Structure 1
């Protein structure tokens, strides 16, 4: 005779209790996330509201008071300023060219370290990783002197060179760990079809490294967009200066007009907010790539 099945009523009870605990945990996490959103969004809201006040209202009202008169003309004055567009163009040019070079050169170097066996591969990769511990501002004076001697001072190239050099070590490190996780079977199949290393890189590894490339591009783009020290030292005229220096110059030009200065800050911040809003998932995936093996 078949034995009758054993009924254990405790399992559903445990499952229900676990569900309740999970629900309570989700609520706590949600509340904490809302509190953190409030903390992080407060400075941004203060910037927007203050930029929409005129100078007399800002001086006479409380700092956190809503604008009584929405001074959209502050943005109108800024958007009709030709100098601001020059700063914007310089930032876009420097970021696009620098990020493009970093993505191409960094991915090629990462592919070599990840999949090509050659002499001194490990020491060279260790040298690249060791470059991450060098404080970039220690090189400010040597780079300034080198830029002056090369005749590149006060040009866009004066910024692109240091930006690319400082971003390559971390970019190569991220992309190398990412490419090591791509299955070797894809590479072996391409080799059987007669593909060389260069074609394998462009047709297989480069497309499949999309999340890592997006991480490198967005991360470095944000850093370059906000960089101030090197842009301040290596450029001297509005024709070649970038947006962070626009904030500096407009602060001097409108010394008593804080709302106008915050207009510049707001317009400078909007591209970064939009870029991160659309690219945050790729950034997280790229940064987590290679952290778990198996």
Structure 2
């Protein structure tokens, strides 16, 4: 009887455990579906209305299917200064990311692999810089750009973008490099490699997942940055893509589908990049999480 009772108790516990898992997964699925709908609703609204004519959205509703795929909004946007704004953003993003990743990697390597007295204070100061609000630096950086004759040029944006990206990049990359086994570095030293060779040939290649994560994270922030671009540039030749949206909004304030088309074109490059490199982003986020 005791064995039978134990078996029944065990079977009951297994059923309860399965029931709890089913309930938990059901609740998680419901919340995931709600989050998915909330996340996709603005994107669907933007894309659908970008194919509508000027007054079609007001007559048929914001989430109604367009009567026809009207590409006139996209052609009008591309005929303007949109491509010039796009090229400015691409140039600034590429140069800023290259400088940012190189500087962050050079700073993270000694902070993660070397032992010296000032390591903790230097690391603390760099991390503390993450707390500096961007907007309190606008006036000093504006005056600096004017005094160096870099105001109203795309080159005036590279410095602030790199400077404000360094703290979070060093913070993440230092933790990532700490997770790299020291045996790799020690075996390289035995083979006769100096510190520079170890950094460029061993540490830097092994840090590619972390660098890819930082490139995507900082790239999205730089691509969408508005405050510095609006403060440090004035003419159309120097402005970036977020300001293109601002200019189109002022020019076509009564033509909402036109603004939706510009927003879709602005968002499309980042969506494509994220789709291509999403596996590297996941690897970078998880690679340094567990130390061996």
Q: TM-score, normalised by structure 2?
A: 0.91
Question: Equivalent residue for 1:87?
Answer: 85
Question: Equivalent residue for 2:50?
Answer: 51
Question: Equivalent residue for 1:112?
Answer: 110
Measure, in 2, the Cα distance between the counterparts of 1:196 and 1:119. Answer: 22
Shift of 1:58: 2.8
Q: 1:268 aligns with which of 266, 269, 276?
A: 266
Instruction: Tell me whether 23-32 or 267-276 shows the greater mean CA deviation.
Output: 23-32
Taking the TM superposition and a 5 Å limit, the aligned residue runs for 1:134-153 are: 134-153=132-151
Taking the TM superposition and a 5 Å limit, the aligned residue runs for 1:18-29 are: 18-29=17-28
Taking the TM superposition and a 5 Å limit, the aligned residue runs for 1:282-293 are: 282-288=280-286, 290-293=288-291
Instruction: Tell me whether 263-272 or 167-176 shows the greater mean CA deviation.
Output: 263-272
Give ranges in structure 2 of 5+ residues lacking alignment: none
Shift of 1:182: 0.6
Shift of 1:29: 1.6
Root mean square deviation, CA, Å = 2.0
Measure, in 1, the Cα distance between the counterparts of 2:23 and 2:277. Answer: 30
Shift of 1:285: 4.2
2:236 is the counterpart of 1:238:
yes
Taking the TM superposition and a 5 Å limit, the aligned residue runs for 1:52-201 are: 52-81=51-80, 83-201=81-199
2:256 is the counterpart of 1:221:
no
Contact 1:177/1:289, CA 8 A, preserved across alignment? no
Contact 2:85/2:241, CA 8 A, preserved across alignment? yes
Aligned residue-pair number: 288
Deviations 1:127-162, CA, capped at 9 Å, x for gaps: 101101110111000000000100111111100010
Shift of 1:30: 2.0
Contact 2:179/2:290, CA 8 A, preserved across alignment? no
Measure, in 2, the Cα distance between the counterparts of 1:212 and 1:13. Answer: 47
Shift of 1:31: 2.3
Instruction: Tell me whether 116-125 or 164-173 shows the greater mean CA deviation.
Output: 116-125
The 1:277–1:30 alpha-carbon spacing in structure 2 relative to 1, beyond 3 Å, is farther
Shift of 1:34: 1.4
Contact 1:78/1:84, CA 8 A, preserved across alignment? yes
Measure, in 1, the Cα distance between the counterparts of 2:118 and 2:55. Answer: 66
Q: TM-score, normalised by structure 1?
A: 0.91
The 1:280–1:11 alpha-carbon spacing in structure 2 relative to 1, beyond 3 Å, is farther
Deviations 1:97-116, CA, capped at 9 Å, x for gaps: 11111111101110110002
Contact 1:214/1:282, CA 8 A, preserved across alignment? yes
The 1:135–1:289 alpha-carbon spacing in structure 2 relative to 1, beyond 3 Å, is farther
